[in-house]
Structure 1
Amino acid sequence: MAPEVSPTLPARSAWAMVLTLCTAFALSQAYRTVGAIMAGPLQAEFNLSAQDLGLFSGAFHFAFGAMQLFMGIGIDLHGVRRTVLVAFPLAIAGGLLSAMAASFPLLIAGQVLIGVGCAPAFLVCTVFIARHFPAARFASVSGLVLGIGGLGMLLTGTPLAWLVETRSWRMGFAVLTAASALAWLSILSWVREPARDEAQPKESLLAALRRFGALFAMPHTLGILLLGSVSYAAFISLRGLWLGPLLVERHGYSLVQSGNVALVMSVVSLFGPPLFGRLDRDGPVRRRRIVACCAAYAALFAAIGIFHAAWIDIACAIVIGLLSGFIVWEYADVRVAYPAALTGRAMAVFTMAMFLGVAMMQWLTGLAASLAQSRGIEPYSAVLGTISALLVAGCAAFAWLPAPPGAVAGKP
């Protein structure tokens, strides 16, 4: 039987390596969703406002997103393994600093370090898949990786809620730091890459940055990035920051009860990317489906903001967890929208937009919550309304701005 991956790497080895790389990605998923459980204890210890909570959660995503271009260059110049091994120790250092932080600025510094350290975690997975798996299987394999990486969110559901409630939020960071060290060791031990072709000239840093500029000059890039900046951000802003406070303050749930809901939402979200990956179709059909899913997505966030019944809030959150899997179609869209030589950089730019979008959305929703509270308005209605409006704007940009020529013509 012919190998199902690159001939330079046996199928079994490729799968083992991509799953090992998933350990760092899973930890990055855990770090970016701790806010939903730690928000209350952090507010109590550091006397934080809703806007401060948005800053706390957004710091990780801003650092993560801002480093994507550099991580993309690092991967192209030095490879997947070296890039993640050099960067990920910063996440370990940031976890330790967060666990020991005596002030809010130190806590933010820890989040920034974690964000920088985790910056290559998903990018190395997507680039590895693009290089060593057939293009036709990119969406399905990426969807599986997204689902497996989502296991990290399970840690920040009931298990983290129990740990924070029985011990402290500091112990939560300590456990995640220890797990990060184990992930780094596993990548060091198991991940290897085929030798680079030394005959190929090595690209300079300046030349690499100029090739990024070529992406932004393409007319279809803007619509792709505008949708990418809000689609994942919406899911993470709810699951990673506002879900816990909403259930505690709006419905009187305990920390563990809200953790249970977060756990269910996380479990459901694991099935979304593999499911949507299997349903993927090339050409304009994919883009029409992306628009339809995004519109339904925005409606679910609006429903949580408008209706204050606990069962509606929980049901919508769970459906949002499943529907968030359509984001794998966005990655597949990026995969075919650019020449093969620009795949790694295109993935880096798209991932940068996603996580800078998370930082922006979490800051904006924190601001919306603070403004609503100052005017006597229920803050979570403002938060969910803001998310829904941003999704509608991103969806409209994706639908109305120029599409890649292949998508218009219905070609891969």
Structure 2
Amino acid sequence: MPQFPVTVPASTSTHSRAQPLWVMLLALLSGFALSQSYRTITAIVAQGLQADFGLSAQSLGAFAGLFGLSFGVAQLLMGITMDRYGLRRTVLASAPLSIAGAALSALAPSHGWLMAGQLLIGIGCSPAFLACTVFIARHFPSERFAFFSGLSLGMGGLGLMLTGTPLAWVVQHWGWRTGFGILAVLSALSWLLIFALVHEPSLPGRAPHAQESWGDSLRGLAELLTLPHTWGILALGMSCYAAFLSLRGLWLGPLLMDRFGFSLVDSGNVALVLSLISLFAPGAFGRMDPGPLRRRAWVANASLLMAAMFAAMALLQQAGATVALMILLGLLWGFSVLQYTDVRASYPPELTGRALSLYTMSMFLGVALMQSATGAVAAWAAGRGIEPYLAVLLAIAGWLALASLAFRMLPASPLLRR
């Protein structure tokens, strides 16, 4: 197995001594972990927001979805800016927006200011995970991409852990505004860490100033949509992570508290267990990667099983069974690393960065759409005397099933059939 370089040549940076690649990756992952905290904090602060601003279920869904919407739309630009200006500059220029957004949310006098804070946070966090995946794709061996991507997704689970019991305890004692304040401080520390440690290695054979125009870069992204296999990838990309985030980041707390009478800390404990599982599940699936010919079947079957588990959670309506299914969903969600690996294998090397950028954009646009849509479904169900969580969970199950079918029916990349 080829060995990856462990340090950046001293000539690549005049600002600091050479840093091992894994140190730079960990610094970038600190930003990704915090983006995970921001996108799941709604489950912990939902009751406080409803009490202070009188938010309906639909407004709460729109609030949670705005992060994903702004995050996803910004992906159109982040992949291009990383190619033109580098990962470090892109992340350092964007991250202060998330710090400002968190501070604005902590001080928000009204729902409108709260939404403005979400918008800033989404844009500020938008390069966080893309920077990690592009860094891995550029500087680590291709045959280890699944492993290191899974490891990165797992490390991002530290951010999910923060919005479990720890932040639930803080919010229960000092309010939701304190929760946003803590995230603002941690985001500032992450920015300093990236500034101090991340200095990108030079890529062999790549002229440092050879850049496409913005128009050429945008046309390159659009050209991916003319490839038939892109649509199956995007359909499932907009669904699996969106389903997991809609549960973990929006509905977990309200569902457990309203349906079963859990306290905020009790629901935070469930979220913490789910987050602990997410530390290891992606890495485990990365190690089990069956290769390009069987990988798509694994992804299609896992997504259909995920849909069945959401349907079971909707219909059983028992506390123990619901918590068990949530934990199983956390384990199963690890297969998402195989989706990233499928994207990398489905395009030639010169399109990898654009393809990963487009796929990441689809993931978070899916999060925004699903969280907003399920908020509307919950409001519709409540108006007709139907339990909102029954309708929400069944809607997610149906969405996943249709996406899984589209992934199966639409063509695979010709590169996978060689």
TM-score, normalised with respect to structure 2: 0.95
Aligned to 1:299: 308
1:6–1:131 CA contact under 8 A, matched in 2: no
> What is the aligned partner in structure 2 of residue 42 from structure 1?
49
Q: 1:309 to 1:397 in 2, by over 3 A?
A: same
- In the alignment, structure 1 segments of 5+ residues that lack a partner are none
Cα distance in 2 for residues equivalent to 1:153 and 1:355: 16
One-letter identity of the residue aligned with 2:108:
A
Offset at residue 201 of structure 1 (A): 2.7
Instruction: Give the corresponding residue for 2:245.
Output: 236
Q: How does 1:242-261 map to 2 (within 5 A)?
A: 242-261=251-270
Structure 2: which 5+ runs fail to align?
11-17
Q: 2: CA distance between counterparts of 1:314 and 1:346?
A: 36
Is residue 94 of structure 2 the alignment partner of residue 78 of structure 1?
Answer: no
1:269-288 aligned at under 5 Å gives the runs 269-288=278-297
The residue aligned with 2:117 is: 110
Given candidates 103, 106, 111, the residue that maps to 1:99 is: 106
2:130 to 123, 129, 149: 123
Map 1:2-401 to 2 at 5 A.
3-5=3-5, 13-195=20-202, 197-198=206-207, 201-401=210-410
Identical residues among aligned pairs (%) = 54
Residue 212 to residue 76, structure 1, CA distance change in 2 (3 Å): same
User: Which amino acid is the alignment partner of residue 349 of structure 1?
Assistant: L
Q: Distance in 2 between matches of 1:57 and 1:236?
A: 10
How far off is 1:149 after superposition? 1.1
SS at 1:194's partner residue? Answer: coil
| Residues 9 and 132, structure 1, Cα contact 8 Å, conserved in 2 | no
> In the superposition, relative to structure 1, how do residues 96 and 214 fare at CA in structure 2: closer, same or farther (>3 Å)?
same
User: How far off its partner does 1:6 sit?
Assistant: 8.4
Alignment check: 8 A CA contact 1:64 1:115 kept: yes
Indicate conservation of the 8 Å contact 2:168/2:268, yes or no.
yes
Partner SS state of residue 67, structure 1:
helix
Q: 2:395 corresponds to which letter in structure 1?
A: T
Report the more deviating stretch, 375-384 or 263-272.
263-272
CA distance in 1, matches of 2:2, 2:362: 37
2: CA distance, partners of 1:289 / 1:42: 40
Shift of 1:269: 1.6
Conserved? CA contact 2:150–2:283, under 8 Å: yes
For 1:158 and 1:282, the matched residues in 2 are separated by 37
CA distance in 2, matches of 1:39, 1:347: 32
Q: TM-score when scaled to structure 1?
A: 0.97
Q: Is the 8 A contact 2:6 2:20 kept in 1?
A: no
How far apart in 2 are the matches of 1:71 and 1:228?
18
Partners of 1:225 and 1:258 lie apart in 2 by 32
Asked whether the equivalents of residues 48 and 176 of structure 2 are also in contact (C-alpha less than 8 Å), the reply is yes
What does the per-residue CA deviation read over 1:6-33, in whole Å, with 9 as the maximum and x for residues that have no partner? 8966997111101110000000000000
SS at match of 1:201: coil
Q: Does 278-287 or 170-179 show the bigger shift?
A: 278-287
The CA deviation string for residues 378-410 of structure 1, in whole angstroms up to 9 with x for no partner, is 000000001000000110111000111122x2x
Q: Using a 3 Å threshold, how does the CA distance of structure 1 residues 3 and 388 change in structure 2: closer, same or farther?
A: same
Deviations 1:65-100 (A, max 9, x none): 000010000001011100000000000000000000
Deviation at 1:284, TM superposition (A): 2.4
**2:139 partner amino acid:** H
CA distance in 1, matches of 2:73, 2:157: 22
| Residues 88 and 7 (structure 1), Cα distance of their counterparts in 2 relative to 1, 3 Å cut | closer
Over residues 307-356 of structure 1, what are the superposed CA-to-partner deviations in whole Å (9 max), with x where a residue is unaligned? 10001110000111111110000000000111101111100000000000
Measured against aligned partners, the alpha-carbon deviations of 1:254-292 in whole angstroms (never above 9, x if no partner) come to 111111111111111211100000001222200000011
- Pick which of 198-207 and 19-28 moved more: 198-207
Say if 2:45 and 2:171, in contact at 8 Å, map to a contact too: yes
Higher mean C-alpha deviation, range 194-203 or range 126-135: 194-203
Shift of 1:3: 3.5
Distance in 1 separating the partners of 2:66 and 2:115? 6
